[in-house]
Amino acid sequence: MSININELSTAKLDFNYWQDIIKNIKHNLDQIIDNKHMSKILKYDIDIEFVFDDLGSEEKFGPNACAKYIDTENNKYQIVLGRKLLTVLRHFSFKVIDYDDIFPKIPRTEINREKLSKLSDTIFYLWVDFICLHEWFHIVRGHLNYGHENLNKNFQIDEFSKNKYFDDNEINLYLEIDADRFAGKVLTGRFSLMQESLAVMLNLNEEDMVEGFSIFMIYLFDLFFLLSDNSRGKVHPSPSERMVFLIAAMQEAIHTNPKLFNLTEEKFLSLTETALKKHYKKHEEEYILNAKDILITMKTLDTYTKIIKDIKLNDYQILKEL
């Protein structure tokens, strides 16, 4: 899989087109996060400002997103989405619709270009939704509160650069897993609301939709890995770990609410696991997976609960429930 990050991040987007993207992202955020239901599941009121980093103040070292405090006394936080990051995501979404493992039943012919273009839009906005949710959960799950109290008063979490506030990268690793887990659960619910109309447009069934959703989310983690300079332990888990954790989060969502899809829980699990296996098989030379890799991934998953308990994350959490 060949992805040129520099080429994608410097590609140009028309000004009006860019403004439409910002408008649509804000609309989606209002639907997902800034609503009455979300306020009811928080222990106390917080103020989160979403900022689109046009000037690159948070992207000095490349595409980035981050979560940080603005005013600790008044519980004000900020989530920053970099323009370079959004540009990379937008152009990568154009590329993946031609990958033969994403909704393979759709012929890649000229007659289907409009349909594929709409699919690209859906993939892009779901990717952005995931990133926004990931940053939001860094805040409401207490990750920033923990860092502020235990590490540095100026603590912030940068997604695609080394976190200078963490001497122990292991804690950073598990906070990222935690944000992925909850973001994956919420995004699965969001996809369940749109998948029926999308399936009609694409002329696919629900099983196709679930498997396709799993695969294009897995590709997002491939991209994240490249943005993180191919280094496990710097900021996030490895791609294979994140893929396994995403699938686990999706399965957790369907276990919590079996009515999300018109599929049995067993069938849903089978489809998501099949997607993961297909991706591994297609890119096996890049992952070079073996028994040791799988054991490391499972050990990380097993250790996650213990680490979250050991650092007493619940003491810092703003979220009551989900």
Q: Return the amino acid letter for 202.
A: L
pLDDT digits (tens, 9 = 90+) for 144-184: 999 888 877 778 888 876 555 555 567 888 898 999 999 99
Q: Is residue 320 part of a domain?
A: no
| Chain mean pLDDT for the chain | 85
Which among 317, 36, 32, 26 has a CA at the least distance from the CA of 189? 32
The pLDDT value given to residue 291: 42
Rounded average pLDDT over 59-87: 89
**Tokens read off for 147:** 């860092």
Q: Is residue 150 part of a domain?
A: yes
Contacts of 209 (CB under 8 A, 6+ apart): 195, 198, 199, 202
The pLDDT value given to residue 61: 73
Q: Is residue 159 part of a domain?
A: yes
The pLDDT value given to residue 1: 53
% of residues, the chain, pLDDT over 70: 83
Contacts of 316 (CB under 8 A, 6+ apart): 142, 143, 145, 146, 149
Of 25-29, 77-81, 281-285, the one with minimum mean pLDDT is 281-285
The pLDDT value given to residue 230: 46
The pLDDT value given to residue 5: 57
The pLDDT value given to residue 153: 75
Q: Is residue 48 part of a domain?
A: yes
Q: Is residue 257 part of a domain?
A: yes
Radius of gyration from C-alpha coordinates of the chain: 19
Q: Quote the CA–CA distance of 200 and 58 in Å, as a whole number.
A: 40
Contact status, residue 63 vs residue 160, Cβ threshold 8 Å: yes
The pLDDT value given to residue 232: 41
The pLDDT value given to residue 165: 57
Q: Return the amino acid letter for 30.
A: D
Q: Is residue 322 part of a domain?
A: no
Q: Is residue 119 part of a domain?
A: yes
Q: Is residue 321 part of a domain?
A: no
288 vs 84: which has the higher pLDDT: 84
- Tally the domains of the chain: 1
Question: Measuring CA to CA, how many Å separate 177 from each of 92, 186, 246?
Answer: 24, 14, 9
The pLDDT value given to residue 290: 46
pLDDT digits (tens, 9 = 90+) for 86-108: 999 999 999 999 999 999 999 99
The pLDDT value given to residue 163: 58
* Residue 319: how many other CB atoms lie within 10 Å: 17
237 vs 104: which has the higher pLDDT: 104
Burial of 242 (0-12, 13-18, 19+ CB in 10 A): buried
Residue 111 domain boundaries:
5-315
pLDDT at 55 over 90: no
The pLDDT value given to residue 225: 79
For the residues of 140-198, what is the DSSP string, one character each? HTTHHHHHHHHT-TT-EEESSS--TT-S-HHHHHHHHHHHHHHHHHHHHHHHHHHHHHH
pLDDT at 261 over 90: yes
Q: Quote the CA–CA distance of 157 and 294 in Å, as a whole number.
A: 28
pLDDT digits (tens, 9 = 90+) for 196-220: 999 999 999 999 999 999 999 999 9
The pLDDT value given to residue 214: 95
pLDDT at 231 over 60: no
pLDDT at 7 over 70: no
Q: Quote the CA–CA distance of 120 and 101 in Å, as a whole number.
A: 14
